[in-house]
Chain A
Amino acid sequence: MVYDWLKGLQDGAINPLGISGPFLLALLKVLLLIIPILTLVPGLIWWERRLLSWMQDRIGPNRTGTITFPDNFPLKALAGKKIRTFGLLQPIADGLKLFLKEDITPSHVDRKIYFIAPAIALFPAFALGGTLPWGPHTGIYGLLTPVANIEIGILYVLAISSLGAYGVVLAGYASNNKYSLMGGLRASAQLISYELGMAMAVAAVVMAAGSMKLTSLVEAQEAPLWGFVEGVQNWFIFTPYGLVAAVVFLIAMIAETNRAPFDLPEAENELIAGYHTEYSSMKFAVFFMGEYAAMFVFSGVFAVLFLGGYNMMPFQWDVLANQIPAMRGFFEFMASANYWLAPLTFIVKCAAGITFFIWLRATLPRLRYDQLMNLGWKTLLPVGVANFIVVGLWVVLTKIWGPVGGFVSLLVAMVFLAVLYLNFVSRTRAEAIGLQSRKIALVDPAPSQRRGITLVDPNKS
């Protein structure tokens, strides 16, 4: 019934509200994308705080709202009991605080840019999901997602994410504060550098799938694994080139969202708080929200590109049902569960991605600036390009020798390139060792190494 109604909307039926059908459907699609992101952001903040304090073995603000009733409490059932809320009240308290705090606009800022910068920062985070399919492309989900199923879906993601620099850069500039400005400069340089690695990783996947449409990318991952293992889905993270691309994409994605260990634009012990030093109250909250929304959506992009999108498990249920008729019922049940639980699966995959983000934040220290640039330009970009070449070889060789021969030659090519690359890198690393490992001598140097300081008596000159 819902399906018929939506189908009618798509075909242009006039609905009771008096709005044209396709317009209402588009509105519905956008709301179905935006509302989950907006509602999940406080949950993410809670999850991050709780997980971080677990990982760092400390009591974080994750026990807020534990109510202990005294022993002489009138209600006998509650006397001496504790009611735990697991810190779930903390996001509410945070939100209230951000709303009620005084909204300070420093007197020295560039007012117009200062006001529009948070909005510009928020825009790409939400627009990014425009081509993201969170459900299968058939049946009812096919009518609801993605918002726009365009041929250039993945390029759209790259283009919008590259606009993410403006919010940070403009905030840094408008604050008229040298630390904020440095944060903005760092953000722009970082974004341009990591955009390249990300584009190369995406290009490899696009070449393997043969399409830039995100729905087609997911469909390509529903094919048999490596082209010849029937019954298992070809999630790109299971393929050798896909695994390399996934690692490159993951690192670039963390750098693009300005998260630890790549949070140099807001490095608090170097730049106070970087680009949002001068922001308070809701304007700060908007930056915060943009960051979390971007994390969420980028995790979704990663899931679509490498983790099989909305598919629950990497199995081709219909193929398995034909191969093992004894368990046909189970496989058919799993196939329909896979279909109907698709949005839930997608959200779980996004949540797993975010958990990974938080895990990294708890584990890795922040990079130095030259390490950041080296990683982007000297490691991710060459690896991405080499991977791109390997995928090209694989596509050609599969056409010549069939899937098995193509796969074997792909492995050979990857090993060859890896040996070549490691040799090359180890040599350049040896040359750059002077910058890589500077050390500061804290002990008193030997007398022969001391810089000569001769004291001059001012009276005698």
Chain B
Amino acid sequence: MLEVLPIASITRDVPITWFLGLGLAMFILGGIGVVTRRNPVIVFMCIELMLNAVNLTFLTFAAYGGSGINATPGGMAQAMNGQMMVIFVMAVAAAEVAVGLGIIMAIFRQKNDVDLDDMSTLRN
């Protein structure tokens, strides 16, 4: 079975909790990374990880769906909700990365070092 597996068979065989569990694990790991890591770029990567966990959850719900969605235009729009959210999350993530990495570069140019604990100029 090397053809792209039809979603009906996936949703029949794999329980939804597996996908959701993976998404949850990635989200929690990303959160832990944001708190424990001290390198700002890695903190950034952990945020990306959390966003992707959410994307996975959206697509899982889109594939498993509720009942009663059919191929009418209205039902179609409803079925595409999850994927639309993923598009928007991706666009936001791309904008965020561009600006965020720009900020990190700017801080590096000013201080010649990037350490999260040193970025406290605004305190007091």
Contacts and interface: CB of A to CB of B under 8 A. Distances in A.
Direct contact of A and B (CB under 8 A): yes
Interface of A: 22-23, 26, 150
Contacts of A26: 2
6 contacts: A22-B1, A22-B2, A22-B3, A23-B2, A26-B2, A150-B4
Interface string B1-13: 1111000000000
Contacts of A150: 4
Q: List the 4 closest A-B pairs by CB distance, nearest first.
A: A26-B2, A22-B2, A23-B2, A22-B3
B contact residues, range? under 10
A411 B4 CA distance: 42
Nearest to A23: B2
Interface of B: 1-4
A23 B3 CA distance: 9
Interface of A is mostly: helix
B103 to A, nearest CB: 19
Nearest to A25: B2
A150 B4 CA distance: 9
A257 B1 CA distance: 34
A30 to B, nearest CB: 10
Nearest to B3: A22
Nearest to B1: A22
Contacts of A22: 1-3
A120 B41 CA distance: 23
Contacts of B2: 22-23, 26
A149 to B, nearest CB: 11
B6 to A, nearest CB: 14
A155 to B, nearest CB: 14
Contacts of B4: 150
A23 B2 CA distance: 7
A22 B2 CA distance: 7
Contacts of A23: 2
A26 B4 CA distance: 12
Contacts of B1: 22
B7 to A, nearest CB: 15
A23 B1 CA distance: 7
B33 to A, nearest CB: 21
A206 to B, nearest CB: 18
A22 B3 CA distance: 8
Nearest to A29: B2
A26 B2 CA distance: 8
Nearest to A150: B4
Q: Which of B1, B2, B3, B4 has the most CB of A within 10 A?
A: B2
A26 B1 CA distance: 10
A150 B2 CA distance: 13
A150 B3 CA distance: 10
A15 to B, nearest CB: 15
Contacts of B3: 22
